[in-house]
Amino acid sequence: MLSEYAVEPAAIGADWNTFRYLIEKFGSDKGRLISRFPNKWEKKVIESAKAAGIPDVRMASIIDRLHRTKHAIVDFNRTYNHDADWIANAVREHGIRAFRAIICREGATGSAQALAPSDCSEDHPLFNAPISRDIPRSAADISGALLLLALAAREIDIVDPFFDLRAGVGDYIGPLASLFGKLARASSNPKVIRVHFRSHPSRPPAEILARDAGARVNGILPPGYRLELYEWSEIAGGEDFHDRFFLADVGGLMIGAGLSAEASAQTATFTLLDITHAQRLRGRFASTSTVYARVGRAVRFNANGSSEIF
């Protein structure tokens, strides 16, 4: 659902109009993320803009926009050799783990994936980024569609009223295990994943959930990760609890048919959400929420196989 782009600081910082045009094209709600490559990418953009002679008033706007769009600039754990130039680094990294495209100065590289800033329009196949897509309901396809958003996030809220870790009630473990495996290979940064599901009389109490679900999730969490399960009920006269979401501090997705893996012929519609809207939806499941009512106590699973009720 999201694509990672390498953007040359000297290209985006060449002039005010180029910067303003390009920076507005990126964000989790637009389907495109800028790789923080190198890890002081924003500083390199500012240095390039100053070297290009951009006036102070425009420089202030560049710095402000870089701060306001920081959700669009993500560290994807790329390796950068400071003894080589940016183009050489980008081409090397592209060969190891491909970017969607390398946005750079005209003629800076002969790579087929190179885009000049003037080529960055919705009409170009390397820049076109649909915000809605039908994803096959296999564990690998679901986790692949979630990976870049999950990598960009510090916190993740999975909302699925029918989420269930009991055997025989849909395969919710397969997509989670696949996603955790991909996250562990791509980044060493631990995360907290909170899952919110709807209450039902058939749901087991927290003590039983901690015992039985713990045995099923044991071994799938990377070191430092935590998985937390929260049960919620609807409030009379309030919001229906039906929609499914994958929400993060940097954006979110609405997921039509849920996060369980099913027959390979089935698909679920994944749609990127406006960032502000995604944060409002996350607020429905905050500890202070009045949209839904928390039921009982939550269960936390740790990477070492332990669990706790809180």
Sign of the alpha-carbon dihedral angle for 203, 205, 206, 208: negative
Q: How confident is the prediction for the chain on average, in pLDDT?
A: 96
Q: Are residues 282 and 187 both part of a single domain? A: yes
- Segment 126-155 mean pLDDT: 96
* 77-81, 194-198, 260-264, 270-274: the lowest-pLDDT one: 260-264
pLDDT of residue 108: 87
Instruction: Tell which residue, 231, 224, 188, has the closest CA to residue 209.
Output: 231
Q: How many domains does the chain have?
A: 2
Q: Are residues 42 and 112 both part of a single domain? A: yes
Given a cut of 80, whether residue 156 has pLDDT beyond it is yes
Given a cut of 80, whether residue 264 has pLDDT beyond it is no
Given a cut of 90, whether residue 32 has pLDDT beyond it is yes
What distance in Å separates the CA atoms of residue 43 and residue 204, rounded to the nearest whole number?
52
| Residue 48 is assigned to a structural domain of this protein | yes
Q: Are residues 177 and 305 both part of a single domain? A: yes
Question: Which one is predicted more confidently, 169 or 261?
Answer: 261
Given a cut of 90, whether residue 217 has pLDDT beyond it is yes
Give the domain-ending residue among 90, 119, 148: 119
Given a cut of 90, whether residue 188 has pLDDT beyond it is no
Q: Are residues 156 and 184 both part of a single domain? A: yes
| Residue 127 is assigned to a structural domain of this protein | no
pLDDT of residue 270: 98
- Angle, helices 139-152 vs 173-186, to 10°: value is 50
| Residue 181 is assigned to a structural domain of this protein | yes
Given a cut of 90, whether residue 250 has pLDDT beyond it is yes
For a pLDDT cut of 90, what percent of the chain falls above it? 92
DSSP 233-255: EEPTTS------EEEETTEEEEE
Q: Are residues 11 and 144 both part of a single domain? A: no
pLDDT of residue 167: 86
Instruction: Tell which residue, 131, 133, 141, has the closest CA to residue 265.
Output: 141
| Residue 126 is assigned to a structural domain of this protein | no
Sign of the alpha-carbon dihedral angle for 12, 16, 20, 21: negative
- Segment 123-141 mean pLDDT: 97
Q: Are residues 96 and 191 both part of a single domain? A: no
Q: Are residues 47 and 76 both part of a single domain? A: yes
pLDDT band at 118 (very low <50, low <70, confident <90, very high): very high
Give the range of the structural domain holding residue 57, as residue numbers without chain letter: 3-119
Q: Are residues 68 and 153 both part of a single domain? A: no
- Segment 102-125 mean pLDDT: 94
| Residue 188 is assigned to a structural domain of this protein | yes
Q: Are residues 101 and 155 both part of a single domain? A: no
Give the domain-ending residue among 72, 93, 119: 119
Give the domain-ending residue among 119, 151, 176: 119
Q: Are residues 180 and 289 both part of a single domain? A: yes
| Residue 144 is assigned to a structural domain of this protein | yes
pLDDT of residue 169: 86
| Residue 77 is assigned to a structural domain of this protein | yes
What distance in Å separates the CA atoms of residue 308 and residue 310, rounded to the nearest whole number?
7
What distance in Å separates the CA atoms of residue 80 and residue 13, rounded to the nearest whole number?
20
Given a cut of 90, whether residue 109 has pLDDT beyond it is no
pLDDT of residue 263: 80
CATH assignment at residue 138: 3.30.870
Q: Are residues 230 and 97 both part of a single domain? A: no
| Residue 124 is assigned to a structural domain of this protein | no
pLDDT band at 49 (very low <50, low <70, confident <90, very high): very high
Query: What are 55-100's pLDDT values in tens digits?
Result: 999 999 999 999 999 889 999 999 999 999 999 999 999 999 999 9
**Side-chain half-sphere CA neighbours of 277 within 13 A:** 11
Both structure tokens of 292: 């839904």
Q: Are residues 283 and 198 both part of a single domain? A: yes
Given a cut of 90, whether residue 44 has pLDDT beyond it is yes
